[in-house]
Amino acid sequence: MKQNKKIDNSTDLAILRTKFDLLISLELQKIYKIKKPNKSTLDYKTTITQLQKQLKNYSIKSKDLKINYLAFCKIRRNYYLKKYNKWVILVVLIVFIIVLAIAIPLSI
């Protein structure tokens, strides 16, 4: 019974490693499609590339794989938040101006 748990755990980590590698490859493909990358995109690209090299060279041990996966998710989330932050602020500002433009004539 105990051997089955160890086999399942190592199998799960192998699946997580391949899934992690696939996600990193997909992120890098998205970044390579960008024609004019800015500084934050280049920093993100170098971080992801280093992570992929460590993953392929097995520098990341199996026990640290989940921690690195969660760190990757956090880095990716922060990158996309910074990327779309100004657009969200712009849309909110435009909606606010439209609401004021409608509300002011109605109150007069």
Indicate whether 99 belongs to any domain: no
Indicate whether 47 belongs to any domain: yes
Indicate whether 102 belongs to any domain: no
Indicate whether 97 belongs to any domain: no
List pLDDT tens digits, range 36-92.
988 989 999 999 999 999 999 988 888 888 899 999 999 999 999 998 998 999 999
Euclidean distance between CA atoms 107 and 93, whole angstroms: 21
Distances (CA, A) of 104 to 86, 96, 101: 27, 12, 6
- pLDDT surpasses 70 at 7: no
Which residue, among 51, 66, 54, has the nearest Cα to 13 in the 3D structure?
66
Q: Which domain holds residue 39?
A: 2-82
Indicate whether 108 belongs to any domain: no
Distances (CA, A) of 47 to 22, 39, 60, 71: 16, 12, 15, 11
Indicate whether 10 belongs to any domain: yes
Structural domain total, the chain? 1
Given pLDDT bands bounded at 50, 70 and 90, which one contains residue 1?
very low
Q: Please indicate, yes or no, whether the overall pTM of this predicted structure exceeds 0.85.
A: no
